[in-house]
Structure 1
């Protein structure tokens, strides 16, 4: 009997999160159903089925991890042929019997910002405060036994925008702002529930003057007995679990599986572009009709 870890990519749009829930479509439920269907696992306890983490409804992934043991040789593309297109296995690794994907060395999350008037220098200055070990009790949805977490790094970057593309539709400059995203990449060993999305909210609140950096420092160092602060989470749709790393484990990416998921993403993008073009045409025509 061999134990295998699988790296899972999925678009979270049509899932009610990762964790199994009665009568709802979830990533975990789909994985278990198809692994059972293909006779890789039967009883979850006997197969020691484990997951690295639970993403919320709407959150995407390029690197969540599950593991299980099976008498059957794992064939990534056989499983992918059974799975729906919006969830695919892109890499695998043989692991020791006692491997638990929950205990990772590093998790990497990316949140993509599209808001107007973001001061990238201020965002970077604010992000520096998050680095290191802090008490993140104010940054989780529920009370947990241990709320101290270590943020290894927060990297804020902005893709270079082609000025020719930017100026193509000057009549719709207000729409073009959405094509100037800022990436917030957050690295840490583990995260609390909603922690990343609350961190992003505070980054934005400091940017817009709703909070100060001193306020953030107080949120990260709450006094004993102090009631937890309320921090509203940002939308889940812009969050991607990019990768999870483990000491001594090197995942083997399957070229065919990765290309298959790339084609799925490209098809989705093309459909979005068609919808955008149709909407843009209607908008422009409405301006023309009223001139």
Structure 2
């Protein structure tokens, strides 16, 4: 049976999501747990896949992984029991054999936490966020590596919550470092270091404009992925069951992000 799981993790102590030899990664951690449970021997033959990559230090609320296993009941009942405290499955779904969490993803949503230290104007940040909706050339906002620089942004907005400005953006797909570069430009506009004309020029990939420097990864959360399938909630028994220390650590890190950008 092929299963999909929603995976949450605090990225602080992971070297990103993608497997790397000798390093602690989210994929490596989940695959190791599956092997320990006897869910599969070879992750390649099981078709194990994540919906996308997150860089070192980036967190996730609803990353999605999928794999095929002869022991689905064991996977659903036991996987959270052996995952570490900073990684947990929050939901599961049975899928057809062709399901791939990357290629079936219809929309991805990220959030970035910006600590409100009084240096940014939220109205100007929202003005910048509003300019991003629609299809634009993100050459100045990403590392392209030969990919098409055009992306369509479905929604982009800022709201305040618990002493932070939270930037939320949704699109079918993103380029490497794209969200973090967007956040840098939004903060720069909030600090009156960029204006609307500058932002528009960046979105048109105007020659001569300087490439945007990405914001620190610690403030970024892969918030949700819509693959067009319903998930059944899983009771937390691992990392997020008693996550107060991890959450405290996360928010304390967020408070440092603004001065890291100076």
* Equivalenced residues, count: 249
Summarize the Cα distance change of 1:149–1:271 in structure 2 as closer, same or farther, 3 Å threshold: closer
**Could you report, residue by residue, the CA deviation over 1:148-192 in whole angstroms, capped at 9, with x for unpaired residues?**
111111121112x6xxxxxxxxxxxxxxxxxx2111111111111
Whole-Å separation in 2 of the counterparts to 1:269 and 1:149: 32
SS of structure 2 residue aligned to 1:56: coil
Whole-Å separation in 1 of the counterparts to 2:209 and 2:230: 40
1:205: which partner in 2? Answer: 188
2:256: which partner in 1? Answer: none
Q: Does 1:216 align with 2:196?
A: no
Whole-Å separation in 2 of the counterparts to 1:260 and 1:80: 5
Q: Tell whether the 8 Å contact from 2:107 to 2:227 is kept in structure 1 after alignment.
A: yes
SS of structure 1 residue aligned to 2:129: helix
2:99: which partner in 1? Answer: 99
User: 5+ residue gaps in structure 2?
Assistant: 253-262
Q: Does 1:263 align with 2:262?
A: no
Summarize the Cα distance change of 1:272–1:189 in structure 2 as closer, same or farther, 3 Å threshold: closer
Q: Tell whether the 8 Å contact from 1:137 to 1:143 is kept in structure 2 after alignment.
A: no
Give the deviation of 1:142 after TM superposition.
Answer: 3.6
TM-score of the pair, normalised by structure 1: 0.80
Q: Tell whether the 8 Å contact from 1:19 to 1:55 is kept in structure 2 after alignment.
A: yes
User: 5+ residue gaps in structure 1?
Assistant: 162-179, 276-291
1:234 aligned to which of 215, 223, 240: 215
- Structure with greater Cα Rg: 1
Over aligned residues, Cα RMSD in angstroms?
A: 2.1
2:112: which partner in 1? Answer: 111
Which structure carries more helix by proportion? 1
1:149 aligned to which of 145, 148, 151: 151
Q: How does 1:269-284 map to 2 (within 5 A)?
A: 269=247
2:129: which partner in 1? Answer: 127
2:179: which partner in 1? Answer: 196
Whole-Å separation in 2 of the counterparts to 1:66 and 1:34: 13
**Could you report, residue by residue, the CA deviation over 1:9-56 in whole angstroms, capped at 9, with x for unpaired residues?**
101010011011121111011111111121112222211111101111
Whole-Å separation in 1 of the counterparts to 2:220 and 2:53: 13
